[in-house]
Structure 1
Amino acid sequence: MKRILFYLCFTCFFYQVFSQSHNLPWKNGALQISSNSRYLQHTNGSPFFWLGDTGWLLPERLNRDEAEYYLEQCKQAGFNVIQVQTINGVPAMNFYGQSSMPDGFDFSNINRPGIYGYWDHMDFIIDAAARRGIYIGMVCIWGGLVKSGKMNVEEAKAYGTFLANRYKDRPNIIWMIGGDIYGNIKTEVWNMLANTIKSIDKNHLMTFHPFGRTLSAEWFNDAPWLDFNMFQSGHRRYGQSKDDKKTLLPQGTEEDNWRYVEHSLAQKPLRPVIDGEPSYEAIPQGLHDPKEGFWKDNDVRRYAYWSVFAGSFGHTYGHSSIMQFLKPGVNPAYGATKLWYEALKDPGFNQMQYLKKLILAFPFFERVADQSCIAGNNGTKYERLIATRGNDYMLVYNYTGRPMQIDLSKIHGKTKKAWWYSPRNAELSYIGEFSSKVETFQPEGGHSNGNDWVLILTDGTRKYVEALQ
């Protein structure tokens, strides 16, 4: 009997490992830009929808067991990219008290026998993520460190050489230059870091993580090392930008992250774009003062659907307690009180997967943003409706549950079938079949912020929605 139980347990374990290894996304090939320059795909042509979490201090704050637990919870919640600060200091120190730079920017003796060093722990995290099919978006060094002179051009070359040689053969790396900084500050350092990595690593995509309410295309859209654009829509609510002259959007439009997408997609050359840092769940509105109130799950849903429906190739979520990995013994920032492992239960963290599920249920590469699908008023601020469509399907996001007039003729089909899809729990509700050109739709629940729904319309003969049931 013991032999039988052992055999069954071993068989189950082997099957689980074998199944995971064969479902890894890079089995479809490396990530690359789609032929229409709007999305990401694998080399075999299969689509990649980026659903990221900002695990910024993961390499510094978590031990091995904690890192494994966090990454597993991310996998279960549908995340496939974790953005991390590779180093948040010069040097950075991790949970095990190990320095990222025991010899400064000389990495020739970084692998010390008998010592589980800083980069050994980074290797562990990257490999643990890889076992779960998760990419690591590596912000090589946080921007403030470069701004203050902690890394110059020659040091950037040495650091980039080290990083590229160490991780060029890992399947799950995405390079992120910058780190919460304007691209016109220390530009020569960023270019050296990026070009050095790219000269060695031909396998992985690269972007630039900019300062709040700015877009990488403002400085680097023509850079040969930039594969896709990233913006940080930031943490301010409408009217909080005050006299900030450096933001891309004017005062009064701070939460309109869809505007960054439109601006980016109007640039030449055309590149894919993503919101790499929107308002976090449970962080103060405006970032610094808890008395201003905190962003909630309905807010992070709105940022996600607005951005993706406007044309982003994916989305990155964030949570205040998770990004700083708040735990006993750690001083909280930004008014955070909830421990990071409790925050993994919060609704916004667990609702992001429904957006990925929705987008992947329909033809991926033909999807475009199309506000002409809205026959009535697009709306401003929270009333803004965002429409995206393919040839024979249409999706419209409505944050406030208000009535909306939709032009059904924008997609193919003699008749159109319609459903409501809930961003809160992915529930579907069939509305009916229509043959008229324009119809008015209003979801249940009344007209109020956070009563958000997606209207799904398809050619009456299509079966796309079956994937959502």
Structure 2
Amino acid sequence: MATSPPILRVSPNARHLQSADGRPFFFLADTAWELFHQLDREETTHYLEDRAAKGFTVIMAVVLAERDGLRKPNAYGEIPLLDLDPARPNPRYFEHVDFVVEKAAELGLVIGMLPTWGDKVTDALGGSGPVIFNPANARSFGAFLGQRYRHRPLIWILGGDRNIDSDPILETWRAMAHGLRSGDEGRHLITFHPRGMQTSSCWLHNEDWLDFNLYQSAHLRKYQRVYDFALNDYLLQPPKPTVEGEPAYEDIPVHFWVYIDWQTDPEVRRNVLDDDNLIRDPGYFEEGFFDAVDMRVHAYWNLLSGACGFAYGNNAVWQMLRKGEEPAIPTLCDWRDALDRPGARQVSLIKALFLSRDFSRLRPDQAVVYGPNPHDENHVRAASAEDGSFALAYLPQGKSIIAVLGKIAGPRVRAWWFDPRCGEALPAGAFENRGHATFEPPSSGHGHDWVLVLEDASAFDKPPGA
């Protein structure tokens, strides 16, 4: 039986999240923006059971959803607001939201709840909308949600893929945050999901209601320098935890917005999509698709650069897209088939490694790497434990590394190679703790990424990831 998920707090050093009793919480989220809006209860149960089994800890979903969530009914024919009025929530719609939150809690999952997608607050970037919020009704809607879910395990996520473009927009989000805080009596953490290539800290780091930062490195390119966002937030004062809330999704076309003519040109659409509205011709997207390799690269680069958490996403799953439905972004398969994609299976291995060596002790430490370290597809990210018990270095293409051994406490250093594809840990030798040493990974090339684990030879009795 799953352990009930905790009500979360910020750690005393403001570097990670933790439960009320002080246990570090590993933020490993799945992106399910349309969960409340699209799935029925059988489908919801199937989805949540799958994600719990794969080791996810957070499920991110939107109450007033992106895809015409105010006017298109949910699976039971219910819309969230009566007459598009935030002061008139539809009880039957929220009975289904209640079910999702309760089922997630039964399975040990925390809901990362977005009260609304950003197009209901601002029309600056289009979207289904319509804009319905102002400071007054945003505060009351926040208070309604806060009170309703006061005793449930969740995190509030404002923003919904939008930036703070004006003072009135800031006042609306600020009012919603204050409403949430009054309704739940401060029981839950609050963060903010910005537009791509941005971080919440740009506008909100000094807001007292923002408990931790969240950034979106987006879907622009492979080997995106996601670590720049993590380090930016990590170095801010006063310190606050930060997480990667939207990296490139598995199976989404690289730079997908460049290929928008699949929507507007009927002939192109016929060539690109099949009769189930799934991608017929992947070659139309000339820059290819993000895959499990990209997921691993971005996850490790983030987590070794100061982020205390990471969100995985799949292009079909965030939409909860069924065969025959209209996609927001074309998909390779439907949401059920996408649940078991390689990247979704491998996130549990990331979690296993970081829990086996207490990730809460880690701090970014590029000085583990000796010699040049170019910012390209071979770039190595490293972190060391504040007590010197271990260090991790991620090699995205399995190139050799010269590592500084003196970062580790104790007279001898034990080394391991951790395989991010299968979770196996291979011994890499033991050394006197002085100077530096060269390590050659077991394999190299695209898709042959490795994590070098250096540790005090007397500190651990199990291999990394065990």
TM-score (norm 1): 0.87
* Shift of residue 66, structure 1, vs aligned partner: 0.2
Tell me the distance in 1 between the aligned counterparts of 2:371 and 2:411. Answer: 22
Structure 1 residues 148-187: aligned runs within 5 Å: 148=123, 149-170=131-152, 172-185=153-166, 186-187=169-170
The one of 165, 176, 196 equivalent to 1:212 is: 196
* Shift of residue 464, structure 1, vs aligned partner: 5.1
| Residues 1:236 and 2:231 aligned together | no
| Residues 1:24 and 2:4 aligned together | yes
Structure 1 residues 321-340: aligned runs within 5 Å: 321-340=316-335
| Residues 1:194 and 2:177 aligned together | yes
Tell me the distance in 1 between the aligned counterparts of 2:10 and 2:340. Answer: 34
Moved more, 357-366 or 454-463: 357-366
Change (3 A) 1:109 1:430: closer
Structure 1 vs Structure 2: percent identity of aligned residues? 34
* Shift of residue 467, structure 1, vs aligned partner: 6.2
Tell me the distance in 1 between the aligned counterparts of 2:89 and 2:380. Answer: 56
Secondary structure class of the residue paired with 1:210: coil
Q: 2:85 is matched by which residue type in structure 1?
A: F
| Residues 1:452 and 2:443 aligned together | no
Structure 1 residues 415-426: aligned runs within 5 Å: 415-426=412-423
Q: 1:189 is matched by which residue type in structure 2?
A: T
* Match in the other structure for 2:15: 38
Moved more, 448-457 or 302-311: 448-457
Deviations 1:152-190 (A, max 9, x none): 2222122112111111121x1100011101123411111
| Residues 1:121 and 2:89 aligned together | no
CA RMSD of the aligned region, Å? 1.6
Q: 2:217 is matched by which residue type in structure 1?
A: S
Tell me the distance in 1 between the aligned counterparts of 2:144 and 2:5. Answer: 26
Tell me the distance in 2 between the aligned counterparts of 1:206 and 1:109. Answer: 22
The one of 128, 141, 146 equivalent to 2:121 is: 146
TM-score (norm 2): 0.88
Deviations 1:246-298 (A, max 9, x none): xxxxxxxx810000011111111110000000000000111323332100100
Tell me the distance in 2 between the aligned counterparts of 1:133 and 1:434. Answer: 41
* Match in the other structure for 1:399: 396
Tell me the distance in 2 between the aligned counterparts of 1:414 and 1:318. Answer: 42
* Match in the other structure for 1:276: 245
Secondary structure class of the residue paired with 1:85: strand
Change (3 A) 1:136 1:464: farther
Secondary structure class of the residue paired with 2:59: strand
Unmatched runs of 5 consecutive residues or more in structure 2: 124-130, 260-284
Secondary structure class of the residue paired with 2:15: coil
Q: 2:97 is matched by which residue type in structure 1?
A: M
Decide whether the 8 Å contact of 1:92 with 1:101 is kept in 2. no
Decide whether the 8 Å contact of 2:453 with 2:464 is kept in 1. no
Decide whether the 8 Å contact of 1:105 with 1:159 is kept in 2. no
| Residues 1:303 and 2:278 aligned together | no
* Match in the other structure for 2:266: none
Structure 1 residues 365-376: aligned runs within 5 Å: 365-376=360-371
Unmatched runs of 5 consecutive residues or more in structure 1: 1-18, 112-116, 239-253
Decide whether the 8 Å contact of 1:281 with 1:319 is kept in 2. yes
* Match in the other structure for 2:411: 414
Deviations 1:76-131 (A, max 9, x none): 110010111111233452111101012433556743xxxxx211110000001000
Decide whether the 8 Å contact of 1:161 with 1:200 is kept in 2. yes
Q: 1:437 is matched by which residue type in structure 2?
A: G
Q: 1:442 is matched by which residue type in structure 2?
A: E
Tell me the distance in 1 between the aligned counterparts of 2:193 and 2:24. Answer: 23
Tell me the distance in 2 between the aligned counterparts of 1:143 and 1:388. Answer: 35
Secondary structure class of the residue paired with 1:382: coil
Q: 2:383 is matched by which residue type in structure 1?
A: T
* Shift of residue 231, structure 1, vs aligned partner: 0.1
Q: 1:439 is matched by which residue type in structure 2?
A: A
Say how many residue pairs are matched.
Answer: 424
Tell me the distance in 1 between the aligned counterparts of 2:209 and 2:165. Answer: 16
Deviations 1:201-231 (A, max 9, x none): 1110000000000000000001011000000
* Match in the other structure for 2:275: none
| Residues 1:222 and 2:197 aligned together | no
* Match in the other structure for 1:85: 62
Q: 1:231 is matched by which residue type in structure 2?
A: Y
The one of 80, 85, 92 equivalent to 1:100 is: 80
Change (3 A) 1:316 1:228: same
Moved more, 361-370 or 380-389: 361-370
Tell me the distance in 1 between the aligned counterparts of 2:5 and 2:94. Answer: 25
* Match in the other structure for 1:251: none
* Shift of residue 233, structure 1, vs aligned partner: 0.4
Decide whether the 8 Å contact of 2:143 with 2:181 is kept in 1. no
Secondary structure class of the residue paired with 2:121: helix
* Match in the other structure for 2:274: none
Tell me the distance in 2 between the aligned counterparts of 1:423 and 1:229. Answer: 27
Tell me the distance in 2 between the aligned counterparts of 1:129 and 1:74. Answer: 10
Secondary structure class of the residue paired with 2:161: strand
Tell me the distance in 2 between the aligned counterparts of 1:223 and 1:189. Answer: 14
* Match in the other structure for 1:359: 354
Moved more, 138-147 or 73-82: 138-147
Deviations 1:19-53 (A, max 9, x none): 43xx2232xxx211111110011111111001100
Tell me the distance in 1 between the aligned counterparts of 2:55 and 2:63. Answer: 23
